[in-house]
Structures are given as C-alpha cells and as structure tokens.
Structure 1
Amino acid sequence: MKKTNRPLVLASVMLAMFVGAVEATIVSTAMPSISADLGGFSKYSWVFSAYLLMSTVTVLLYGKLSDIFGRKPIFAVGILLFLIGSLVCGFATSIEELIFYRFIQGLGAGAVLPIATTIVGDIYSAEERAKVQGYLSSVWGISAVTGPAIGGMLVATIGWQYVFWVNIPLGILALLGVMLFLVEPPKQQKPSIDYAGAILLTVSLTCFLYWLVEGGVGFDWLSYETLLLLSGTVISGIIFVRVERAAKDPMMPFDIWKNNAILYANLVSLATGIIVIGVTSYLPTYVTGVMEQPATIAGFTLTAMSIGWPVAAFFSGRLLIKIGYFRTTLAGCVFLVIGTMLFVFMRPEFGPFWAAISSFFVGVGMGLTSTAFIVSIQAAVAYEQRGSATASFMFMRNLGSTMGVALLGSILNTSLLAYFKERGEDMSVNAINGLLTEKGRASLSLETLSFLQKGLSMSLQNVYGVTALFAAISFLLIFGLPRKKGA
C-alpha cells in the first residue's frame, strides 16, 4: 500500500499556509497604490474586511467537510477558489470589483489554513506534532516579515497586480504536493451533510460580522440596520443550535467544546485575535504620527513581533515535551501581559525601540501559545473530529481579529472625538491624517501638531489598555486548561 511522503506533504502544507498567511501583509503594503489606481478610498477597509469576513464564516464549514470527505478534496476546493480569486483580483478595474474578488479569495482561504494544520495532525504522532506544529506556527511570523518587503518590491517594479498573482505558482505547487503525496485512510461510512446547519451558521456569522465591520461607519450603532442585523444573528443562531442538537452528523459538534483543552484554548484564541489585530493595526500609526518616525521604522517595530513569533513557536514544541501544555501556554500568556503592558506605558519620548520591544514580547507570547494550543486540541480528539476541532481554533482567532477591528476602531474614534470636544475644537477624526506623513506634519502649525499628537497618543493609550485587559483575561483563562504533564 502506498504511504504518505511526510517531508513533501509537510513542505506543501507549509507553502500553502505561507500563501494564505502572507496575503494580509502583502496586500496592506500595496493598498496605497491600489487605491490611487482604482479610486474608492471610502471603501478602502472593505478590501481587507471582505477577505477576513469570508475566511471567518467558512472556516468551521470546511473543517467539518474535511472530516466527512477527507482532507484532500476539501483542501483542493479551497486552494483552487483562493487561486481563482487571486487571479481575478489582479484584473480588477474598480475598487468594487476588487472587493468582490476578495470575497472569492477569502472563501478559499477559509479552507487552506485549518486543513493544512489538520493534515499535519493526521500524519504525525502526538509526540512529533509538538515540533512540527512549531514549524507551522513560525510560518505566520515569517509571512509577516517577508510580506511587506515582497509587496513593496512588486509594487515598485512590476505593479500591484502581481501582489495577487504571485500566489498562483506557489499555490499550485502546494496543491500538487498534497494531492500527489498525501495518502488518507478510506472512508468507512456514507457521508451525511448537515446542509441546514451550514446555511444557518453562515447567515448568523455573516450578519454578526457585517454589523461589526460596518457599525459606526456605514450606519450608526443605534439604528434600524443594527436592529435588523443583530436580530438576524440571534434568531438564526438559536435555530442553528436547535438544528445541530438534532442533526445526525452536525456541522459543529458541540460535544468537543465540553473538553476543557478545546474550550479554554478557543477562548484564549479569541482574546489573542483581538490583541494581535490591535498591535498590527495601530502600532504603525503611533510610531509614525506621534513619534514622527518614517514608515520604514514603523515597519521595523512590527517586524520585531514577527521575529519573536517564529522563534518562540520553534521552542514551544520543545517546551511542550519538557514541561507540558499548561506551563508552556502559561508562559506565553505572561509574555502577552508584559508586552501589552509595555504598550500601555509607552510614551513618545521613549522612541521606536520601546515599541519594538513591546511588539517582540507580544510575538513571543503568540508563538508559545498558538503552537501549544494546536497540539493540545489535536491530541484531545479522534481523527473524525480533528478537522472540526482545528477549524474551531482558527475560527475563534479570526473572529477575535474581526471583533477587534470594530471594537478598537470604535474606541480610537470615540476617544479622539471626546478629546476634541473637551477642548472646544470642532475637528473630525480625519484631522489625524495630517500626522501620518512628513509632508502633512510640515503643513501644520506647531500648536496644531502638538494638539493632534497629544490627542492621538491619549486615544491609542485607551486602545492599548483594552488589549492589556484581554491579555489579562487570557492569563486567567489558562488556569482552566488540563495541568497534567503531556496532556
């Protein structure tokens, strides 16, 4: 009988994860050029939100489908959708077209990352997974380091379209590697597909995530649209739970959440999703607007997190074997608390090195926890539920990032408006745009510059305070994990 070629499958899976993970950072670098070419700056954020929305909504569905039909066919469907989306993104002639194509890309991305991680859980033993999952976790950090550099180089040389097209040859190689060298066990039972559950889950999550992304931007938080979307979220969610409890083979098996290793890992994943999006979204704004550093220095402060993450992920696999899941994840959460608290105490005069150190500590915390959680979750369930369990972890992190974008953005805007109002200034949040470039700062009077920088600094301190709160919550949740060494 033909056997799985584990090294080649691992290389293919890491390549697939790199392509999916690098998409966020590589596109962010190209967005100024894309916006200048296609127009539609008011819809700028939807280029990111469309991708995040679809990948979050579908990740649980793909995880379950991979348990029913096997990893290979669902992985193939996901990566083909992702590659088709990447191809047409490069041909977009308007921002609206690009947003639609990003939906297609996100629809495929929802399968690539969780199934790639699940495949590794299938082909390696529990003892080997700790080290190998450390390699996979490091892909996230490496993609964050290389993404901006690759994106900047492509935009400067051959055009922003290649930011999307560079995915295609890499994705094809990853697909061929998995299809040719992965051998799966035959399915013994006839698949039972929970169509009703899939539809209800998609409706509920879409309503909720759309409200999070557009609330306070496309419509007021207290509005008819909010009432409609939240009603849709709650009603479809309640029906979904009832349908799942009665389903023969539910899309989301609730029994896996009864396992403490999965429940608490997923709750911490939700909180860390908020922390990561808070750092990556707003640290460059602080370094550029308040510290008056160029974009390259702002990028360096984020790169520090991207270095800490893969280094810690590499050592996390070894720590799991030596001290167990509980102590490894506890150490990770300690680093998250330290990193976020350093952000809270950051002041403009401390300079970008302080920001980089803070970022590095957060990266170390993410590297230690993410690897440990994936290994513990996959060890807690059988093969038939491993796809669903792994997808639930990915889903919670994505959900945390999506919630974080809305929550932290709202805190920042509200804090700025309150600052302006308290000081009797009739300014909009858009006034901050003048701080983000050297030319913009030069056009402001010293008094206005100081006023805006103080307001931005105070408002971002509120944002960092919330991220520190979620780090503290993560630390407390760790104590719900099983504490037996090797469990």
Structure 2
Amino acid sequence: MSQVSEATVDSVANTGDALPHADVMRVISGVVLCILLGALDQTVVIPAVPAIAGDLGGFGQLSWIIAAYLICSTVSTPVYGKLSDTYGRRRLLMSCIAIFMATSALCALAQSIHQLIWFRALQGLGGGGLMALAQAAIADVAPPRERGRYQGYLSAVWAIASISGPLVGGFVAEQWSWRWIFWINLPLGALAIWACSRGLRNIKTHANGHKARIDLVGMLLLAGTISTVLLALGWGGREYPWLSFEVVGMLAVGGVLATLLMAQEKRARDPVLPPPVFANPTYVSSVLVSTLMAVVLFVCLFSIPLYAQLLRDASAAESGLYVAPFMLSNVSGNLLGSMYARRKGTIRGALRIATALSCFGLALSALMPAGAPVWMTVGAMVITGPGVGVCLLGTIMSAQNAVPSKNIGAGTGALLVLRSVGGASGSTLAGALVASGLAVASGAMAASHISANFELLYGITAVICAAAFIVTLRMPNTPLRSQISSVSLGE
C-alpha cells in the first residue's frame, strides 16, 4: 500500500479541500493503535492490582499505581498539544510512544511498589500525548463536517479497549504474571511507531509565522494546577475528609496557581493555553459540555459494576458485563453524532438532543425501585449511553472547528485535560456516595441504604446533564467547515 502521496497533500494545502477517504484512512491507521495503547493501559492494570500487592506488598499505596499514571498523563496532555502545533504531530507522537514503551519495560521490571509507582508516573508522561495528538492529527486531514466520521473510529477503539481491558488484565495476571501486562505494550508500541511513521509521514500542521518560544512558566503552572486539583479530588472522602485542612488547602493552592496561570498566559508570546481560544463562545461551550458529560461518563463506568455487585449479587466478572451495553450504546452515539454533523453541517442540535436524552435515562435510573428487573436497569443505561457518546465526539468536533488551525493542538489538549478533570470528579462523586452508603449499611436495611445512595447518585448526575443541556441552549450554532487549512507538505 502506498503512503499519502505528496501531490495529494500539496493539493490539499493549496485548495483547503479534504483528503480522499483512502488517504485519511492511512492516517487513521497510524493513530488508532495509539488510542488502543492509551485506553487499554488505563483499565488493564485495575484487575491486576491484587496480584501486584501480593508480589510487591504496599497494600496502602496501591491506589497510586492508577493515580500516578492519571495525574501525569493529564498534566502532559495540553503540553503535548501545544508543542505539536509548533513541531508537528508525527515527531511528538512517535516520541510519546517511545517513552511509553521504555517506561512499560521499567514497570515490568519493578522490584518494589515505590518503583512501580514512579515508573507508572513516567509512563503517564508518554501516555498523555497519545489521545490528544491522535485527535489533533485527524483535525489536520479531515474538515470539521467530516471529522466525526473518523473520530468515531477512535471512539469505537477506546470503547472496546475499555470493555476488554479489565478482562485481559485479569486473565493475564491469573494465567501468567502481572508483569506481562506491561511487557505486551512493547510489540504493540513498535507496531504503533511503524504505523505512525507510515501514516503521518507527509502530514504536518500549520507552521507559526515566528520562531516559537516554549512557555515553560505556563507549562509548570498548568502542571501544578492540574496536579493539586486531581490530588484533592483523589484525597477527598478517602484519605482525608472533604473539609480537612489537606483537601481544602490543596484546592486553595490549585486556585492560586490557576490565577497565576491566567496572568502568565495573557503576557506569554506563545502561551500553552492561548487566551483567544477561550474568548470564543463556541469553544467555551464545547469545553463546558465536554467536561460535564465526562462527569456523567465516569459516574456510570464507576457505578454500574458496583451496582451489579452490591444490589444484583453479580460476581466481579459478571459485573463487567453490565457495563458492556452502556459502552456499546455510547459507541452508537458516536456514529449518530457523526451522521448528524455530516447531514446538517452543524452539531449544536445533536448536543441538545443528546444531553436531554442522557438526562432522561439517568432520571429513570434515579426513580427506579430497588427490585426493578435487570432489563429495566440496563435499559435506562442504554438510553443514557448514546447521549454521552454524541457529546464526547460532538464537543471535540465543535471545539476544533472553533479554533484557528495554528491552535488546534492546544485547543484539543485543553479540552481533553478538562475532560480528564471531569472524569476524576465523576469517579470521586460516585465513590464518595457509594462508600457513604456502605458505611451506614448493616443488617436487613443494608440493601435499602445502598439502593438509596445509588438513586441519589443518579439523581445528581441527571442534574449535571441538565446543566449541560442549558449550556447547549446558549451555545452559538456555528456551521462546521467543509474545508481544512492545516495540512501542508513536509515531515
């Protein structure tokens, strides 16, 4: 198979027309393995945690195996996005994969829990660029109106990895060793590097008209802001009470750093988060809806297995099957959102329908009695899933459409990092409410206490969906462009 032809790319650069479908698919083949690596590694480790504890000890620090990766990957996401606007997607994406592979090997060789935590943090620095750069690469070769068609492929891979990750991790840890969970990243990473080199060889992003200056101060302030907020969300209700000095203090430090970050970005020549991007009402609305629906997504992902185990007496393996219908309906939402965008040339209407649909599904879950049949509980989540899928795909399309080509990487990275913060908030909300139900549950009234807390959780999440719907009512109905302007001949 031939790679993207120089003549084709040069034609696109001069006319702004979209690449042929076959050429775009070669680019997609170059980034889809990156999505697989990033998504799989976030879930495959979870079922192996007991085996890791038995081998390395340190039961009290096991949560940091997940948290260290999450924090570092979230912190690095917008930085990679900004740097890729200057230095190109291909070079940085291949560097991210190489870092990811090297640190995967270190994780497999870890001899203590502390080593594994540090190596997982370093692995997150590589993993943080996989999703952001893959999404930005699609924006380089497909116009916004057609972009959902291709981003839907990535969303499908992410959903499949999210479902299969816990199954693969549990099987590998049980049949072989937890270390193979990390060793398997090496052949997958090598294949991803080859695919990226082939698929992105002649595609690069719009070049800025002046010599780039790295906003190091902004990057450090951004990293500090995200880290403190995520640590506070992780500690609250688990390590420390929500109103404790530690949690409140971390949130206060995060607020101070965020204020300093805004001041720095206003005066920086090449800000990591360009202020003009956040002055665009379409972009801001897209980011708000994306963040709120990320809360909904992670509430569902966290709560559905626990609901199955605590109220349906399902085993750990069976509880994973309860998530599958929700994730599959989520993927269907990606496809529906893509079809709507291509037909209507805008995405606001789809976001309004999607947020209303998810709100309705969660309201059904909140009002459902404890003894309701399984098909009813699963059905409510199947109603919720498509709306979440439409929003997560549609907000990326809308946000990238709203920013100039030179800021696509930075804009995409900012949206994804705030989406990660929303996801962490959703997991924290679900964990806190479920844990409080378990704390007071005892005897014959245990099930009713737990059921009441699940009802409260889904009720709160329905309100969050309603807030997202209100944002879409104020969102400008910006037409999706049918041309691209960020592709040029080069590396």
State the TM-score, normalized to the length of structure 2: 0.87
Task: Give ranges in structure 1 of 5+ residues lacking alignment.
Answer: 426-447
Of structures 1 and 2, the one scoring higher in RCO (CA 8 A, sep 6+) is 2
Counterpart check, 1:123 vs 2:141: yes
Residues in 1 aligned to 2:280 and 2:90: alpha-carbon distance in whole angstroms:
27
1:67 equivalent among 68, 85, 99: 85
Residues in 2 aligned to 1:194 and 1:68: alpha-carbon distance in whole angstroms:
12
Counterpart check, 1:360 vs 2:372: no
Residue in 2 that maps onto 1:33: 51
**SS across alignment from 1:482:** coil
Match for 1:338: what amino acid?
Answer: F
Stretch deviating more after TM superposition (39-48 or 461-470): 39-48
Change (3 A) 1:270 1:194: same
Identity over aligned pairs, percent = 28
C-alpha displacement of 1:136: 1.8
Stretch deviating more after TM superposition (404-413 or 281-290): 404-413
Counterpart check, 1:47 vs 2:65: yes
Query: Is the CA contact (8 Å cut-off) linking 1:54 and 1:107 kept in structure 2?
Result: yes
Match for 1:339: what amino acid?
Answer: G
Residue in 2 that maps onto 1:479: 473
Residue in 1 that maps onto 2:126: 108
C-alpha displacement of 1:250: 0.8
Change (3 A) 1:111 1:462: same
Counterpart check, 1:194 vs 2:220: no
Query: Is the CA contact (8 Å cut-off) linking 1:67 and 1:384 kept in structure 2?
Result: yes
C-alpha displacement of 1:199: 0.9
Q: Deviations over 1:292-336 (max 9, x none)?
A: 122333111101112112222123211112233011112221221
C-alpha displacement of 1:454: 2.3
Q: Deviations over 1:209-234 (max 9, x none)?
A: 11221233333433443354234222
**SS across alignment from 2:377:** helix
Stretch deviating more after TM superposition (268-277 or 348-357): 348-357
CA RMSD of aligned residues (A): 2.2
Counterpart check, 1:56 vs 2:74: yes
Residue in 2 that maps onto 1:179: 197
1:292 equivalent among 307, 313, 316: 313
Match for 1:76: what amino acid?
Answer: M
Counterpart check, 1:134 vs 2:128: no
**SS across alignment from 1:350:** coil
Residues in 1 aligned to 2:369 and 2:41: alpha-carbon distance in whole angstroms:
32
Residues in 2 aligned to 1:352 and 1:296: alpha-carbon distance in whole angstroms:
17
C-alpha displacement of 1:198: 0.8
Q: Deviations over 1:65-89 (max 9, x none)?
A: 1112211222122222222222222
Query: Is the CA contact (8 Å cut-off) linking 2:305 and 2:319 kept in structure 1?
Result: yes
Change (3 A) 1:162 1:362: farther
Residue in 2 that maps onto 1:470: 464
Q: Deviations over 1:145-168 (max 9, x none)?
A: 322332233223222222222222
Residues in 1 aligned to 2:131 and 2:53: alpha-carbon distance in whole angstroms:
28
Between Structure 1 and Structure 2, how many residues are aligned? Answer: 459
**SS across alignment from 1:240:** helix
Query: Is the CA contact (8 Å cut-off) linking 1:280 and 1:302 kept in structure 2?
Result: yes
Query: Is the CA contact (8 Å cut-off) linking 2:104 and 2:183 kept in structure 1?
Result: yes
Stretch deviating more after TM superposition (182-191 or 307-316): 182-191
1:212 equivalent among 233, 243, 257: 233
Residues in 2 aligned to 1:170 and 1:232: alpha-carbon distance in whole angstroms:
39
Match for 1:265: what amino acid?
Answer: S
Query: Is the CA contact (8 Å cut-off) linking 1:213 and 1:405 kept in structure 2?
Result: no
Residue in 2 that maps onto 1:149: 167
Stretch deviating more after TM superposition (149-158 or 286-295): 149-158
Residue in 1 that maps onto 2:106: 88
Query: Is the CA contact (8 Å cut-off) linking 1:291 and 1:349 kept in structure 2?
Result: no
Change (3 A) 1:167 1:332: farther
Query: Is the CA contact (8 Å cut-off) linking 2:217 and 2:264 kept in structure 1?
Result: yes
C-alpha displacement of 1:195: 0.8
Change (3 A) 1:369 1:234: closer
Q: Deviations over 1:42-96 (max 9, x none)?
A: 2232222222111222211111111122112221222222222222222233333
State the TM-score, normalized to the length of structure 1: 0.88
